[in-house]
Chains A and B, each alone.
Chain A
Amino acid sequence: MSMQQQTLPLPGVVAPDTGHYRGDHLLVAEMVERGSKVLDVGCGEGDLLQLLETRGIDGRGIELSREGVNRCVAKGLAVVQGDADTDLINYPDDAFDYVILSQTLQATRQPRVVLENLLRIGRRAIVSFPNFGFWKMRIQLLVGGHMPRTENLPATWYDTPNIHFCTIKDFVQLCDEINVKMERAVALDMYGRPLRVNLPWWFWNMFGEQGVFLLSRAEKGK
C-alpha cells in the first residue's frame, strides 16, 4: 500500500481560536487550498462550510434533510436540498476544486458510484468516514456479540442511516480498484487527534476511529 508514503506534516489540530470546530473539520479545512471552490456533500448544518468561509473558500453544499438545508440557508450559505446518490449527476465535470464527503459515504446506497462522481465533479475529493475496524467496534462484535454502537454512531442497527460501513483497509482497497490516487491519508483517534503518520498500517485500522483521505484522479495511461 502506498499510504505510508504520504507523509505530510499535520498542523496542530486544536488551535486556540478554532476550538469550537470539530477535529475532522479542521483537518479537512487544512487540506483545502485558500481561494478554491468547494462542494460539501452532506453538509449537515453547515459547520464545515462556515469554517471554510472564514478561510476565504467559496463553499457550496448539498444536504439531504430539509431542516439541515434550511438552517444552512438561514446562515447565508449556498446549500441545496439533494441526495448524494441521485443528485451528483447534475453537476458538470471539473465544476469544483474539491468535493468533500464528510461522514456520509457509509450512508450512501452506492458508495463506489458516489466516489467516482466526487472525482468527476472535483479535481480532488476529501472523504472522511467512521472506521468500522476501530477496536471498540471489534470488541463489541467479538465480546458483546451485538452490532457496535459508539458515541459518534449511536443508532441501533434497525434505525441507522448507515448502510455501507467499511474499514480504513476496505476504503483503501476501493481506491486502488477504481484507480484513485491517495494524496494524503490521516487516521483520527477517538478524541479527534491524528495518529502518528509513521505507525504501521494495521495500527491505523485498529486505533483510528475515523479516516480522512485527500484523493485525486490517477492519471490515465501514465
Chain B
Amino acid sequence: MVNLQSIPSPPVHGEERAHEADRPTSLLAAFGADQPLKLDCGIDLSPFQIAYQTYGELNADRSNAILVCHALTGDQHVANVHPMTGKSGWWETMVGPGRPLDTDKYFIICSNVIGGCMGSTGPASTNPATGKVWGLDFPIITLPDMVRAQTMLIDRLGIDTLFCVVGGSMGGMQALQWTAAYPKRVFSTLAIACSTRHSAQNIAFHELGRQAVMADPEWHHGRYFEQGTHPHRGLGVARMAAHITYLSDAALHRKFGRRMQDRDLPTFSFDADFQVESYLRYQGSSFVERFDANSYLYLTRSMDYFDIAADHDGVLAQAFRGIQTRFCVVSFTSDWLFPTAESRALVHALNASSARVSFAEIETDRGHDAFLLDVPEFFDIARAFLQSAGKARGLT
C-alpha cells in the first residue's frame, strides 16, 4: 500500500492564534476613530492597533531610533523569545548588545505590519463592527499602507526622524518605501536583498502559494475561524514552495544532496525518503503553527502590488530626486528571488539622483535567506555603514 503523508495538524489552536492577533504579547499602540489609517484602496481603517517591540534606549535628542521592518512571515519579535514558538528572535544575530544593530547605542523598534497576525490589525483580528474575525472582509492593504501605519507609530513614540530604517526582503521594500515617501524622516536606509518592485516571477510564486491555501477545503473562503479549522495543508504547501525560493540549488545540494532520511533504501512509497523532503515538510508544519492563512494571502498581495517607480511615471530615479538620505544596498550572489540585478537597478537610480549610496554584493551560496543567517561579511558592512552614518548624525 502506498504510504500517504501530508502536513500534520498544528498543535496551536485557532483560539490561541486569535488571542495573539487581538491581545498580543507585545507593546501596543491603539489608534481610535479620530486617527484612521488611510488605505490606498480608499478605505479608512479605524480603529486599528500596532503591536511592536523595542530594544535599547531612546537618547535625549531622540536621534538614535532604528526601525527594523520585518519580512513577509516575520514579526516584531526581532530579538526576544517568540511568544508562540518559544524560539529566539528572528534577527538575534543582527540585533543586540555589540551586534551591528547595537542595542547599547541605538533604540531599535520593530512593529508587526498591518495585515499581519501577531497583534497589528489584520485579517486574523476581530472586526469591531461585527465582533467576528475580519477574514476576507479585511480591506486589501499595500506596502505604502504598512509604512503609513508605521509613521503613525513613530509619531506616537515622539520620534521625528529615524536614524535608520533597516529591512530585508519585504522589510527592505518597506525601508525603500519609507525613504521614497518620507525622505526627511529617514536619515539612513539599509535595504537588504530586496527590490523597488516585485518581479513577475515573484508574483507567480505568490499566486502559487495563495492558490494552495484557497484549494484547501478547510479554508472555507477565509471563514475557517468560525468553522474551528485552519487550512494548514494549503498553507503548509505554500510555505514549502516559498521556502525553496529562499534557498539555492547549491545550498540544497550542500545541505541535503540526495541523502535519505533515517533509512538506507527507498521505501517505494510517497513517504519522505529524502532529507530534503523531510526538511520541507518540517518547514511547512512549523510555519502553520504560528501563521494565519488569510494573513499570508494579504501580505503576499501587498508585495505583488509594490512598485515604487509606478508612482513616479515609471522613472525610479524620480522617486529619490534630491534625496539626502544615506543608502546602503546589499544583495547576495545566490539570491534568485531578489537577484543582484534588482539591487543594481536601484543603485543606478540612486546614482542618477546623486544620492549617497553604498552597494555591496555578498558572495554566498545560501540564497535569499542569507540575510537572516550568520554572514560575517554582511555584518561588517552593516556595522560600518551605521557607524559612518552615526558619525554624520552626531551619535557617538
Residues in chain A within 8 A of chain B (CB atoms)? 58, 60, 66, 69-70, 72-82, 87, 90-92, 95-96
Contact A73-B348, Cβ < 8 Å, known A66-B363, A78-B326: no
Within 8 A of A (CB), among B310-358: 326, 328-329, 344, 347-348, 351-352, 354, 356-358
Give the complex CA separation of A58 and B392 in angstroms: 11
Interface check B387, CB cutoff 8 A: yes
Is the CB–CB distance between B351 and A73 below 8 Å? no
Please report B residues at the A interface, Cβ cutoff 8 Å: 326, 328-329, 344, 347-348, 351-352, 354, 356-363, 377, 380-381, 384-385, 387-388, 391
B357 touches A78 (CB 8 A): yes
Q: In the complex the two chains form, what is the Cα distance from A207 to B354 in whole Å?
A: 39
Residues in B whose Cβ lies below 8 Å from that of A75: 384
Assess A76 versus B363: contact at CB under 8 Å? Given A60-B356, A91-B352, A92-B352: no
Q: A70-B381, A76-B388 are in contact. Are A81 and B360 (CB under 8 A)?
A: yes
29 sampled A-B residue pairs with Cβ under 8 A: A60-B357, A66-B361, A66-B363, A69-B359, A69-B360, A69-B361, A70-B360, A70-B361, A73-B328, A73-B358, A73-B360, A73-B384, A74-B384, A75-B384, A76-B385, A77-B358, A78-B356, A78-B358, A80-B329, A80-B351, A80-B357, A80-B358, A80-B359, A81-B360, A87-B348, A92-B352, A92-B354, A95-B354, A96-B354
8 other contacts beyond A69-B360, A70-B361, A78-B326, with CB at 8 A cut-off? Answer: A70-B360, A70-B377, A73-B328, A76-B387, A80-B359, A82-B347, A91-B354, A95-B354
* Contacts between the two chains (Cβ within 8 Å), count: 63
The smallest C-beta distance from B75 to any residue of chain A, in angstroms, reads 29
Q: Who on chain A is nearest to B359 by CB?
A: A80
Q: CA separation between A69 and B331, bound complex, in Å?
A: 13
> Do B360 and A90 touch (CB < 8 A)?
no
The distance from the CB of A91 to the nearest CB of chain B, in whole angstroms, is: 5
The answer to whether B352 touches A90 (Cβ under 8 A) is yes
- Chain B positions within 8 Å of A81 at CB level: 344, 359-361
B348 contact set on A, CB distance < 8 A: 87, 90
> Given the complex, which residues of A lie within 8 Å of B326, measured CB to CB?
78
Which chain A positions have C-beta within 8 A of B354? 91-92, 95-96
Closest 10 pairs (CB-CB, A-B): A76-B388, A80-B359, A90-B348, A73-B358, A76-B384, A74-B380, A73-B360, A74-B384, A95-B354, A78-B356
Q: Nearest B residue to A94 by beta-carbon distance?
A: B354
> Do A91 and B351 contact each other (CB < 8 Å), given the known contacts A81-B360, A81-B361?
yes
In the complex formed, the residue of A with least CB distance to B379 is A74
Alpha-carbon distance between A96 and B387 when the two chains are bound, in angstroms: 25
A79 touches B358 (CB 8 A): yes
Residues of B within 8 A of A74 (CB): 377, 380-381, 384
For the complex, give the distance between the alpha carbons of A91 and B352 in Å: 5
Given contacts A74-B384, A76-B388, A78-B326, contact A90 B351 (CB under 8 A): yes
CA distance A79 to B344 in the complex (A): 13
Q: In angstroms, how far is the closest chain A Cβ from the Cβ of B312?
A: 16
Report whether B385 and A73 are in contact in the complex, using a CB–CB cutoff of 8 Å. yes
> In the assembled complex, which residues on chain B have CB atoms less than 8 Å from the CB atom of A91?
351-352, 354
On chain A, the residues within 8 Å of B387 by CB distance are: 76
B330's nearest neighbour on chain A, judged by CB, is: A73
Contacts of A92 in B (CB 8 A): 352, 354
Whose C-beta in chain B lies nearest to the C-beta of A62?
Answer: B351
A81 to B348, CA, bound (A): 10
Given the known interface contacts A91-B352, A92-B352, the answer about A73 and B357 at a Cβ–Cβ threshold of 8 Å is: no
Closest residue to A60 on the B side, CB-wise? B356
Which residues of chain B have C-beta atoms less than 8 A from A77's C-beta?
Answer: 358, 388
Complex alpha-carbon distance, A175 and B159, angstroms: 53
A73, A81, A95 pick with most chain B CB within 10 angstroms: A73
Query: Would you give the shortest CB distance from B96 to chain A, in whole angstroms?
Result: 20
Which residues on A sit within 8 Å (CB–CB) of B347? 80, 82
- The smallest C-beta distance from B186 to any residue of chain A, in angstroms, reads 16
Closest chain A CB from B94 CB (angstroms):
16
The residue on A at minimum CB distance from B380 is A74
Chain B residue at minimal CB-CB distance from A77: B358
A80 to B358, CA, bound (A): 5
Q: In this complex, what residue of B is CB-closest to A72?
A: B358
Nearest to B390 among chain A residues (CB) is A76
Cα(A45)–Cα(B326), bound, Å: 20
Give Cα A76–Cα B393 distance, bound, in whole angstroms: 14
Q: Bound state CA distance, A72 and B329, in angstroms?
A: 13
Could you tell me the distance in whole angstroms from the C-beta of B325 to the nearest C-beta in chain A? 12
Contact residues in B for A76 (Cβ distance below 8 Å): 384-385, 387-388, 391
**Shortest Cβ distance from A95 into B: residue:** B354
Residue of B nearest to A76 (CB): B388
B383 to A, closest residue via Cβ: A74
